Amino acid sequence: MTTPTPATSPPTAQPFTWSALPAVVQDYLRAHVEQDFATAVTHLPDDVVVVDNGETLEGRAATLTVFEESAELYDVTTTLLTVARPADDTWEVGTHLSGTFPGGEVDLRMLFTLVEGVVRRLEITA
């Protein structure tokens, strides 16, 4: 009798530490947490794909527009909670947001996919 091979389990998230992330992700997050989106997007390429709450944003300029519009509507505090590495080129950061948006609190997952050291895709989901 053979034992079935278990499915690959998802990565285990660890408490957040800056050192667990590549420098480009650290730089992006430091600015993002401060809601300095103009600086944050400088750490993304012009043709980045950002998926934010199901909406696909094509490029740095579109991303900056959406992030700044949201910042004008709501006051938000971001707390970085966890970090995981689900693939060789992917880092996952768990965050907690609190603020004046509907519901007032939400946990989000930020999934950074890098190609040759550049953030090519950022997915932000609840």
Q: Would you list the domain boundaries of the chain?
A: 14-35+43-125
pLDDT of residue 53: 87
Residue percentage of the chain with pLDDT more than 90: 90
Judging by DSSP bridges, how do beta strands 90-99 and 105-115 pair with one another? antiparallel
Each residue of 56-86: pLDDT tens digit? 999 999 999 999 999 999 999 999 999 999 9
Q: What distance in Å separates the CA atoms of residue 3 and residue 27, rounded to the nearest whole number?
A: 45
pLDDT of residue 3: 46
pLDDT of residue 10: 59
pLDDT of residue 5: 45
Task: Please state which CATH number belongs to domain 14-35+43-125.
Answer: 3.10.450.50
pLDDT of residue 7: 47
